[in-house]
Structure 1
Amino acid sequence: MEPADAAPPRGPRSAARGVAAHGEAAGAQVTAGEPVAAIVGMGDAYASKADRKDPLQLATEATMAALADAGIGKHQVDAVFTGRSPWADKRSQWSNIFISHLQMPVTLNSEITLHGAGLTSTIAVASQMIAAGAAEYVLCVQSDATELFVDAVAMGSEADSDPQYEVPYGPTIPSLYGQAARRYFHEYGLTEEDLADVAIASQRWGARHPHAAKRKHGEIDREKVLSSPYVATPLRRWMCSTWGGGTGGALVVTSPERAKEARDPVWVRGYGSATTHEYLTDRMNMRSGRFAGLGEFPNLTHTATVEAARQAFARSGLTPSDVDMLQLSVNFAHMGPIIMEDLGFAKKGHGIDVYREGRTGVDGDLPTDTNGGWLSFGQPGISCNMDSLVEAVRQLRGTALGLAPKRKPRTVLVQGAGGMLAAAGVLVLSGDEAGRP
């Protein structure tokens, strides 16, 4: 089903489409604290073993819903950004394949590929393009359905392991993250019991989301987590993300001015991104870096999230104390406290306290991963960061498919990770134009 191409735009079409040869386009100047862009359309789609859909179908369904939500037709979209090719459809130039499938010519389409963190950065690039006057509406879309179509374990090892220094030893993604978890334990004194608290918190949310991969298991306790078998020491099964079925998400981004006429906009207040390396051995060979906050080299306990967060907070004019909710990329339980620390919600080594104190739950002051996150909702493939974005928009709009916290959030931070502790993107979103403080 196609959207009605004749649907009226939400705002006047600009006669000047490009950037002037000298100087900046109108609207390019953004003061810290003001919205840099707005999300005016959102769509999502889901697949399972009982209802199989490939990535192209999932992306199409999500896009149709997002365009209808924004009240625009497909030929009003100026640019399309996706992340890297889905694991379940590894054709190159996937973003071009997608716009061809929709018969939707655009001025620009591209894959933003900071591994999975590229999905978070699509919103940043869309915001920049809109601020420069080069686009009025930008579509950001991603989908995947890894476990429904491919051998995810084999593919992941090939994609994220150094072919010379790691592949010969037969690593898996859990074994690589397990090494980093062990080092984190050593430096900061954490235990498996601590990581159980992260898994329990995620599952409380996931048990109430209709599309969460682990929903059927209900809530869990420490005994359940600590009696589950090791996947890669010290990580047990409940401490590791599972492959979700399939998901697709699409977001329509436009200018703050045009969004004032939209039905239920979500305001983009700040964004940031950073990447430090490709393979884990590359990170261990690093002896210096340009970003403050990465700790003493070499280490596996600080990530590019610290720099991405610095940029996002600086652009938004906000601080961690202004944030009501978090959507994080916790693929293994030890990454929860590490990300909390890198975002500025705890000192190094104390991120676990945010989970211990119940702050991430429905009654807490910092509800986190409210769809269950990667640990419980699952990781369908490269679309996992889009799942976090969709959940953030739904929570801000009050349309959550699962559980909503007792206090509706005003400001949500979305953190996306990519690769082996390699890349990060951070977005600060709000449900009202004024935002905070």
Structure 2
Amino acid sequence: MATAVETLGKLERRITISFPLTDVRTEVEKRLKVQARTAKAPGFRPGKVPLKMVAAQYGYQIESEVLNDKVGRAFNDAANENNLRVAGFPNIVPKEEAAEGQLAFDATFEVYPEVAIGDLTAVEIETVQADVSEAEIDKTIDILRKQRVHFHTKGEAGEHGDGGEAIAASGDRVTVDFVGSIDGVEFPGGKAEGYAFVLGEGRMLPEFEAATLGLKVGESKTFPLSFPEDYHGKDVAGKTASFTITLQKLEWAHLPEVDAEFAKSLGVADGDLAKMREDIKVNLQREVAGRVKARNKEAVMDALIKVAELEVPKTLIAQDSERLAEMTRQDMAQRGMNVKDVPFPAELFAEKAERRVRLGLILSQLVGDNNLQATPEQVKAQIEDFAQSYEDPREVLKYYYSDRRRLGEIEALVLEENVVTYVLGLSKVTTKAVAFDELMGSNAQA
């Protein structure tokens, strides 16, 4: 049996559950007899072990299982009888005082909140849009060329030329030996041989690059270098060192020409440059569309958080914080990082978890009230859209439809899009054009 529901706070509730001790003992004995049919012990045939020995070996485990089953069933029955929507898991502890012959437990838990969503027609939302111009295509081609750069010895004639005078200049790859000292004493990490870097990429401190510029192979230069106060090497941060560098190798960068061979390297079989540009444009437009959709979805979610009133169950925040912490751990491990002994306190993820839970409750309310569930047709269309960028779209369809969890991820994505469309259809929307570079530099996340 269960007592009446006690209200401890806005969402917190408590129920006291009790049942006869004899019920537990009867069920334990019943399960022990079942266990005895297959129990094994030295000196006994299977199934012939005395019940006392079975109880000594399995009694504690079976009693725990029986208690968990009975308490769980009693709590679920009480929650159903009182029409309670329990958020998360209850905290169940034995009650110190119980009637004779009874076992009693206090179950403390939270319930789902009422979600009040304000007038969406009064909400103002700013969306964005962006275009892909010929300039963006040109920039992308430049990036693709730089990704395919190759270096040649500067000053030596070759099929692509000699790269000009054999003097270190911005864009050249230099290989140097260097040694640094502070007050005449070399310091750890201040010495290297055969160290290569590209001038102008900002990989080295400005004074180091400036001293390298203009050198010829075999030449050396000594110069002072002041380490910034926030330099990652704490032993030298804020100090001034004396460095001597010697240029051992000098190479100039040759970027591939934008020709048929370049187009073929990008997957255009016949090397047609117009087709190459069109392929790049299509890919950029797809990327832009995804970024625009993410930015606009974030704007809608921000608006919903402002217009909705609700209490967020602490239990759900704690559960999602732990989930985010574990996801972060797994992600870092997959990237090759050793995180075995690294702590991931769930509290670090509480703010993000609170937003996720809050939005989940708001979206659930909107979907239920307005029939915004994802339809099978929408889900299929979304998967087919994903599949366009793959060689064999049928394999992508098979990938999602063969796993209910994966399909659920697509359904959740479509559901969110349905909510975004619904909200934008009601609210006061203004659209702002954003530059391509600004959009691509953003990391919008809803």
TM-score tier, shorter chain, comes to under 0.3
TM-score (norm 1): 0.21
Q: Which has the larger radius of gyration?
A: 2
TM-score by length of 2: 0.21
Q: Which has the higher contact order (CA 8 A, sep 6+)?
A: 1
Larger helix fraction of residues: 2
